[in-house]
Amino acid sequence: MKKVLIFFVICLAAWILVNNPIVDKFIAVLKQSALPAAKQESDPLYQSIIKKASTYEIPPSDAKVDSVWKAIPGYNGLKIDIAASYKNMKIKKVFDEKKLVFVQTKPKIHLQDLPPSPIYKGHPDKPMVTFIINVAWGNEYLSGMLATLKRHNVSASFFLEGNWVKKNPELAKMIVSAGHEVGNHSYSHPDMKQLTAAKAREQIIKTNEIIEAATGEKCVWFAPPSGSYRDETIKIANELNMKTVMWTVDTVDWRKPSPEVLINRVMSKIDNGSMVLMHPTESTAKSLDQLITLIKQKNLQIGTVTELMNEERIIK
């Protein structure tokens, strides 16, 4: 008797469910939404977008350690958003590559996945460069350089010596307030290659603490003075969650070249991913305005080290 009662209840519940107007309406909505999707996918235009998508798609590029340039960051790829592209084209019902909608695809291997290695340049396909401005002296030229950068709406990466920041905290704050990135350039500008591991670690940590106390910023990039390092230096920085950056193009501005010589030196070598080394010198201060203009004329964006190293694809 109990089993019969349970069977009767189940049947009754099923009958109510099937004949419920709310359920009927829900099923009708599902059917209606499925019809346009099916119709869309059978549309020759939709199928055309699918067939042509591979022509426009670019695979992501993994970060790697190059035999010459050492650590190279990854770079996002591009994939076609079929549904969004179809929506853009269905009014005129013709394929139009200008109406394709792209989404970026991430690489599998990222910069942080690589073993400790110095960075000399960004990804060779990324139309961006960065200014690495090492500061341990040259206060008299800083304000003018900051004004020029602001006028061009350019952000740079200033690598500050710890001892300099200790003596000039207001200038360090001014750099950060102007929207620029700050990095670690050691405490007392030693030859990092000659230091013991303990002394190298002390130089980096002390500078990090001073920069953070003065500006509130935590450094994630380390630039060894004069580009001098050994493998242990890179490993120590990595243990402190910092990547070591070098440069692609050197202005050699400490030799006081004329603006013409400095500009020619940079522009003859600059390309996608270039990292341009400079200091707050008279030569750089006088060259900066024209240098920025010429770089932009080459359709190269100028960003911070962090912006250059990220995997975001620049779509023109």
In angstroms, the CA 284 to CA 273 distance is 20
- Asked if 266 contacts 291 with a C-beta cutoff of 8 angstroms, the reply is yes
pLDDT in tens, 282-310: 999 999 999 999 999 999 999 999 999 99
Query: What does residue 71 show for φ and ψ, rounded to 5 degrees?
Result: -70, 125
Calculated CA dihedral for residues 110, 116, 118, 122, nearest 10 degrees: 0
Check residue 25 and give its pLDDT. 55
- For a pLDDT cut of 90, what percent of the chain falls above it? 86
Condensed to tens digits (0 to 9), the pLDDT of residues 265-287 reads: 999 999 999 999 999 999 999 99
Task: List helix spans (H) across the chain.
Answer: 2-18, 21-42, 44-56, 82-89, 139-151, 162-167, 169-177, 197-215, 231-239, 259-267, 282-297, 305-309
107/209 same-domain check: no
**pLDDT tens digits along 123-140:** 999 999 999 999 999 999
Q: How far apart are CA 56 and CA 284, in angstroms?
A: 41
In a domain, 136, yes or no: yes
Least confident among 20-34, 68-82, 132-146, 149-163: 20-34
- Examine the fold and report which residue of 79, 111, 143 is the final residue of a domain before the chain moves on: 111
**Shared domain check, 227 and 273:** yes
Among 111, 131, 152, identify where a domain stops.
Answer: 111
Which residue, 124, 108, 67, 70, is CA-closest to 234? 70
61 shares a domain with 126: no
In one-letter notation, the amino acid at residue 244 is T
128 and 85 inside one domain: no
My answer on whether 61 and 150 are in the same domain is: no
Which is nearest to 160 in space by CA: 136, 190, 177? 136
Q: Is position 23 within any domain? A: no
Amino acid at the residue 61: S
Q: Does residue 107 form part of some domain?
A: yes
Residues 55 and 144 in one domain: no
Beta partners for 66? 70
CA dist 225 and 155 (Å) reads 22
Give a yes or no: residue 67 inside a domain. yes
**One domain for residues 214 and 300:** yes
Distance CA 101, CA 231 (A): 44
Of 190 and 12, the one with more pLDDT: 190
Q: Are residues 202 and 271 in the same domain?
A: yes
> pTM for the full model?
0.86
Whether residue 185 is contained in a domain is answered as yes
Q: Which domain holds residue 51?
A: 37-111
Q: How many domains does the chain have?
A: 2
- In this predicted model, what pLDDT tens digit does every residue of 199-221 receive, in sequence order? 999 999 999 999 999 999 999 99
Residue 65 has, within 13 A of its CA and on its CB side, a CA count of: 7
Mean pLDDT of 54-72: 97
Q: How far is Cα 182 from Cα 221, in angstroms, rounded to an integer?
A: 8
Is residue 4 situated within a structural domain? no
CA atoms within 13 A on the CB side of 68: 2
For residue 30, the model assigns a pLDDT of 44
Q: Within this chain, do residues 233 and 275 fall inside the same structural domain, yes or no? A: yes
